[in-house]
Each structure stands twice: as C-alpha cells, then as structure tokens.
Chains A and B, each alone.
Chain A
Amino acid sequence: MPAALSRALQGLAILAAAALVVVLPAYVELFTLMQLTLFAAMGVLALSLGFIWGFGGILSFGQTAFFGLGGYTYAIAAINFGDSTNAILLAILFPALFAAALGYFVFYGRISEVYLGVITLTVTLILFNVVNSTAGDAYTIGQARLGGFNGIPSVPTFNAPYTPDAVLSPEAGWWVTGGVLIAVYLLMRLLLASPFGRIAVAVRENETRAALLGYDPRLIKLGVFMVGGAVAGLAGALYVNWGAFVGPTIFSLSLSAEIIIWITVGGLGTLIGPVVGCVLIQFLNAKIGSQQAFNANLVLGVILVGFVLLLPKGIVPTLKNALLGLGRKARRRPAASTAARTQIAGAE
C-alpha cells in the first residue's frame, strides 16, 4: 500500500473514532456508556505498556505500579485541591518521576530483561503492601486519609478546568476519557515518527549497534520508560474518575497480568493492538463475570498460554499480514519491496 494512501486511511480512521466518541452518548444507554468509559481508561493503560514493551523492548511486569500511583496521586490531590485540573497534571508528573527514579536504577545498572521483570513486579508488590497497611489516622496527606485496604472513597471526579463547581456529567466523562485515548494514541504515533521514536526502535532491535552509532541506550530506555509511566499515571487518574474510588487492588498483580495479556492478544509492536486486546479481554471478562461455571483466571490463563504458543504475534499483526498477503496476491507486485515496506510499517 502506498505510504500516502496508508496515511490518509489512518487519518480517516482516527477521524471516524473521534466522531464515534462524540456521538455515542446519544445512542447508547448510561450503563453501556459507563462500561465503555472504563474500557477507554484501561485502553490508555494498555497503550502505556504497549509503547514501552512494543517499541522500547522493556517488558515491565508491574505497569500497575504507575497506574496505581497515578490513581492515588489524583485522589489525594483532588481531595486536597478540590479541583481536578492540577490533580490530573500531578497524576501524570508523579508516576513519570517515579519511573525516572526506578528506571535510573534499572537501566543504568544494565540489568537484563529477566531481572527487569522481577524488579518491576517486586516494586508493584511493595506498593501494594505499603498502601494496604496505611489504615488509620496516622496515614493522612493533607485532608486525604489513605484508608489502607479500605481505599479512598468518594474521590471528587473531573470538573471543567479550574472551575471546581462544574463537575462533569457521565457523558462528558466519556468524552474526556475517549478523547484522551485518541489523543494519547496520536501523541505516541507522533513520538514514534520523531527521531526519538526511531532511536527507541533501534535500541529495541539491537542495543549494541545503537550504542555504536553514538546513542546512549540507557538514556533512550529511560525516556521510553518515563513516557510509559506518565501515560499509565494518566490512565490511573481516568480510572479513579470513572469509579470515584481508589483502593490498593489498583496495584494488584492480577491486573498486571491482565495488561500483559491484552498486549499479547492484541499484538506486540503495534499501538492499536493493545487497545483492541484490552477491549476484547475486558468484554470477555464482563461476560465471564456474569456466569458461575468457571473462573475468570482459568479463561485468561488459557488465552495467554494459547496466544504465546499458537499466535505469538497477536491478532492485529496477524490480520494485517493476512490482508497484505491477499493484496500482494491480487496485484502480483514483486514480493521483496512490499515485504521491506511491511517491515518499516511494522516498526512504526
């Protein structure tokens, strides 16, 4: 597919998605809309790991650490400020800084992939344990009580920028969440097209070669990790806005596992794949939740094992390759040039 045509199609798809976000509240009932808002918030979380794992080659087993930090930061700040705008900004900033500190430790120690997974997993567990044990009056930040395993109830939801009285309706909440999902997707697209994104992919492909070309892989990975942390923090704020509640389970290992499943199912190394996988799996989870015959973990586990063994690329890249293969057959183009272009497109 010529690059210009491909880009035009992508632009159209994004416009269509934006239009869908705008008109949807007129057509679906409130319950469905709320569910879709949750899916969109989780979609942002999926994008954060999809970005750092798929394009930075950093498999963080504990992306919920940043998600949870973002959620708690938002809750504490919103309660103290009484206004959500700065709280959202803090919920992006604080996880990014935390990612910078952790990333410095990990990447500048040149810790290998396995250890990275173990360390991020451990950090998530530490945060879970610490937050879980903060019940009681001693653990209060400003006016916000951390509440330990009970969590923080009745967190103020989003309001119009710097006007605390104009609290957003559920419809407006959906517009914000859906809009953020599209905006984050676009920003990541732009970032990947920028020199930074190109270098990040180069580091993922071959760290030594990138280093020999004069780039510092540690710094690049740190940058990618921070972007992932910031986006995950934003997702946390969106999630807390959806439920007006935050509890320690936001740090849970099962959620960490689920994010990884979304990406494995949707397709690693794409941006749309994680979102697709996220929506599919969450939809499936909601369906499983409404019956009693078997446990959700069982189904998720089988799906993860099945995809790793049988369809390691995930749904989106497999479909894309199948479609490109069909197109190639129809047009009888020389295979080599198309294949090369597919690779470049795949790297984007």
Chain B
Amino acid sequence: MDLSLIIALDVVNGAASLFLLCLGLAIIFGMMKIINLAHGEFVMLGAYATVISANAGLNIWIAMLVVAPLFVGLVGLVIERCLIRFLYGRLVDSMLATWGLSLCLIGLVTTIFGNTINGVPTPLGGFQVGAYRSSWYTIFLLAMAVVMMALVYGVLRFTRFGLVARAVMLNPGMAATLGVNPAKIYMATFGIGAAVTGLAGGLLAPVSGITPVMGTAFVAKCFITVVGGGATIISGTLSAAGLFGFVNQLGAYFTTPVYGEVILFLSAILLIRLLPQGISGRFFKGTL
C-alpha cells in the first residue's frame, strides 16, 4: 500500500515535471509554429539564474519564482527581436537557426562559468509514508504544475491578450486586418514562452544536475511530448505529458531509468505514427 502510494506519487511527479518543462515550448510551437530547438538551453539558463542568484545570497524562492522567469523572459525578448522575427514562416530555417542558437548559448555559458556549477540544496524537507520517504518538494512541483496550467488557461481564456493571441494563432492575416499587430503578439508570446520555460528551469534546478549541456537532455523529450500532444497548448501538452510521464516512470520502475526513457521515446514514436496530428488533433478539436 505504502509502496504503491510512493510509485503513484513518482508517476504523477514525472508527469508534472514534464508538463512544466513542455509548457513554454507548447506556447511557442502552438501559437507561432516556430520549432525552438534552443528550448533546452532556456531551461538551462533558468536553472543557472536560480543557482547563481541563490548562491549570491538571494532567497531561494525569489530566485526560483521571480529571477529565473524574468531573466529568461528578457533573454527570449532579445532573441525574438534579433533572430526569430526573421524566420516566421520558414520552418526549417527556424529549426536550423534555433539549433545554432542553442550551440551559442551552451558555448557562451561554458565560456563564462566553466563546465560545472554548484547546485542549490532542495528546499522543504521530506515526509514519511510507512517505510518509505518522499520530499515535500515533489508535492510543491505538482502544485506548481497545476498553478501554471490554471494561469496559462486563465490568461488565454479570459483576458483580452488571450483573445487576441488565440485569434493570431488561428489566422494571423485575418487578425491583422482587424487591427491587431501580429508581430507584437508574436514578440510577447515568445517572451512569455521563454519566461515559462525559465520558470521550469528554476523549479528543476534543486533536483537536477546543473551543467551547460543539461538542456540537451530535455530537448528531445519536450519535443516529442509537444508533437505527441498536438498544436493545442493546454489539453495537448497535458494529455501527452500525462501519458509519457506515466509510461516513463512506470518503465523506469520496472526496468532502469535509461530503459524508462527508451520506452517513453518508443511509445511516443508509435503515438505519432498512429495520430499524426497529435492527441489533441484527434480528441480535443477547437480547444486550447
């Protein structure tokens, strides 16, 4: 009983982390149809911002929840202005350029900080379930995933920005004739996507190894999740993250973490073969 509770917690936690990691990518891909291969490096930047500011004496919660998203969001805005805005509608070029960007960011961070950086201790303690231990931080991550989902849903569904953003997502040309400036919306979207990704990086900083190349571990997983979920932001990402997080953690539990990832990837490839439009393309048409 206790063991199954711990496993259930692990599975839910895996899905929640995956959801947090993918949300920013889903926002950028779903709205702008830009494949951001530098996504993993945004996560890395968020983690670095958190660790550096926390080690400089800042409160860990502020470092995680404020510094990381703000910093990465700003970086995202700069990148959108300098690079991404030349690439709208050029899908393959956008992939190539963002891959170049990812190499640049890895190189830059390695040049400045070297190959390793000290992490931060995991805040909050642990709790006991029978003979097993788990940490409160796991529960916190789960709560953050729920909060982020509610926040993004709320903004897209109930605010004027959300309405305009959804209009641009559906038909940029039509939105432009109605007086919306798609370029501005794209800029804001990219910034928000980057900030959400930075937040995920900050939240995962205490529980993951922090190196300049840590992003490459996430990028394929995030992609396969977003692509598996389809172009809709909330329902697609949520269903795919839930499914793949479940598969990954169960696979890892019954075999090894490495084969857990292999199982995740294989099931994702199978899913894309069966549902080329992603889960949401089939089951949640017309939703967010």
Query: A residues touching B (Cβ–Cβ < 8 Å)?
Result: 59, 61, 105, 109-115, 117-119, 121-123, 125-126, 129-130, 132-133, 253-254, 257, 260-261, 264, 294-305, 308-309, 312
Given contacts A295-B110, A301-B100, A304-B97, contact A133 B258 (CB under 8 A): yes
A301-B107, A305-B97 in contact; A129/B262 too (CB < 8 A)?
yes
Q: A119-B269, A297-B104 are in contact. Are A109 and B92 (CB under 8 A)?
A: no
In the complex, residue of chain A having the shortest beta-carbon distance to the beta carbon of B269? A119
Instruction: Name 18 extra pairs, CB < 8 A, besides A125-B265, A126-B261, A294-B111.
Output: A111-B273, A117-B35, A118-B224, A118-B227, A126-B265, A126-B266, A129-B258, A133-B258, A264-B96, A295-B106, A295-B107, A301-B101, A301-B106, A302-B100, A302-B104, A304-B99, A304-B100, A309-B97
Q: Report the separation of the CA atoms of residues A125 and B106 in the bound assembly, to the nearest whole angstrom.
A: 18
What residues of A have a CB within 8 angstroms of the CB of B97 in the complex?
304-305, 308-309
What is B's interface to A at a CB cutoff of 8 Å? Answer: 35, 83, 86-87, 91-93, 95-97, 99-108, 110-111, 216, 220, 223-224, 227, 256, 258-259, 261-262, 265-266, 268-269, 272-273, 276
What is the CB-to-nearest-CB distance from A298 to chain B, in angstroms, rounded to a whole number?
Answer: 3
Task: Say yes or no: B258 contacts A130, CB within 8 Å.
Answer: yes
Give the docked Cα–Cα distance between A322 and B93 (Å). 23
Q: Which residue of A lies closest to B94 (CB)?
A: A308
CA distance A324 to B100 in the complex (A): 31
**B-side contacts of A125, CB under 8 Å:** 220, 265
Given contacts A110-B276, A305-B83, contact A115 B227 (CB under 8 A): yes
Q: Which one of B86, B96, B220 has the highest number of Cβ atoms from chain A below 10 Å of its Cβ?
A: B96
Q: How far is the CB of A307 from chain B (nearest CB, A)?
A: 8
A253: chain B residues within 8 A (beta carbon): 216
Q: Pick the contact of B220 from A113, A121, A254, A301 — CB < 8 Å?
A: A121
Contact partner of B223 (CB less than 8 A), chosen from A121, A296, A297, is A121
- Whole-angstrom distance between the alpha carbons of A121 and B216 in the complex? 11
Shortest C-beta distance, A71 to chain B (Å), equals 20
Q: Do B103 and A301 touch (CB < 8 A)?
A: yes
Our pick among A118, A264, A296, A309 for the contact of B107 (Cβ within 8 Å) is A296
CB pair B99–A109 under 8 Å, yes or no, is no
CB distance A305 to B272 under 8 Å? Answer: no
Chain B residues with Cβ below 8 Å from A300 are 100, 103, 107
Closest CB-CB distance, A87 to chain B, in whole Å? 27
* Cα distance, A260 to B95, chains bound together (Å): 11
B118 CB to closest chain A CB (Å) equals: 20
- Asked if B101 and A298 make an inter-chain contact with CB atoms under 8 angstroms apart, the answer reads no
Assess A309 versus B83: contact at CB under 8 Å? Given A111-B272, A297-B107. Answer: yes
Contact, CB under 8 Å: A109 / B276: yes
Residues of chain B within 8 A (CB-CB) of A297 are 103-104, 106-107, 110
Q: Which of B227, B259, B266 touches A114 (beta carbons < 8 Å)?
A: B227
Subset of 10 A-B contacts with CB under 8 Å: A115-B227, A125-B265, A129-B258, A129-B262, A130-B262, A253-B216, A298-B104, A298-B111, A300-B100, A308-B96
Q: Which of B105, B110, B227 has the most chain A CB within a 10 Å cutoff? A: B227
Q: Which residues of B contact A123 (CB under 8 A)?
A: 265, 269
Report chain B residues within 8 Å CB of A117.
Answer: 35, 95
**A115 and B272 within 8 A (CB):** yes
When chains A and B are docked, how far (Å) is the Cα of A105 from the Cα of B102? 29
Query: What chain A residues lie within 8 Å of B256 (beta carbons)?
Result: 133
Query: Closest residue of chain A to B83, judged by CB?
Result: A305
Q: Distance (Å) between the CB of B48 and the closest chain A CB?
A: 15
**Of A130, A296, A298, which one neighbours B108 at CB under 8 angstroms?**
A298
CB closest chain-A residue, reference B273: A109
Write the chain B residue with the least CB distance to A105: B273
CB distance from B89 to the nearest CB of A (A): 13
Residue pair B99, A114 in contact (C-beta under 8 Å): no
Interchain CB contact under 8 A, B103 and A298: yes
A294 to chain B, nearest CB (A): 5
Rounded to whole Å, the gap between the CB of B68 and the closest CB of chain A is 22
* Cα A110 to Cα B276 with chains together (Å): 8
Taking CB atoms, residues of chain B closer than 8 Å to A261 are: 100
> Which residues of chain A are within 8 angstroms of B91 by Cβ–Cβ distance?
113-114
Q: Kindly list chain A residues whose C-beta atoms are within 8 Å of the C-beta of B268.
A: 122
> Which of B99, B224, B256 lies at the interface centre, i.e. has the most chain A CB atoms within 10 A of its CB?
B99
Bound CA–CA A310/B140 (angstroms): 46
Q: Which residues of B contact A122 (CB under 8 A)?
A: 220, 223-224, 265, 268-269
Q: Choose one: A59, A129, A308; the contact of B100 (CB below 8 Å).
A: A308
Closest beta carbon of chain B to A37's beta carbon, Å = 26
Q: How far is the CA of A105 from the CA of B274 in the complex (A)?
A: 10
Contact check, A119 vs B272: say whether CB atoms are below 8 A apart: yes
Q: Verify B276–A115 contact, CB threshold 8 A.
A: yes
Known A-B contacts A119-B269, A302-B104; A295 and B111 likewise in contact (beta carbons under 8 Å): yes
Q: Is B107 a contact partner of A294 (Cβ separation < 8 A)? A: yes
Q: Which residues of B contact A308 (CB under 8 A)?
A: 87, 93, 96-97, 100
Nearest residue (CB) in B for A303 is B100
Kindly report which residue of chain A lies nearest to residue B262, judged by CB atoms: A126
Contact A109 B272 (CB under 8 A): yes
Q: How far, in Å, is A100 (CB) from chain B's closest CB?
A: 16
B99 engages A257 (CB within 8 Å):
yes
Q: Which residues of A contact B273 (CB under 8 A)?
A: 105, 109, 111
Residue of A nearest to B35 (CB): A114
B99 in contact with A260 (CB, 8 Å) = yes
CA A64 to CA B220, docked complex, whole Å: 15
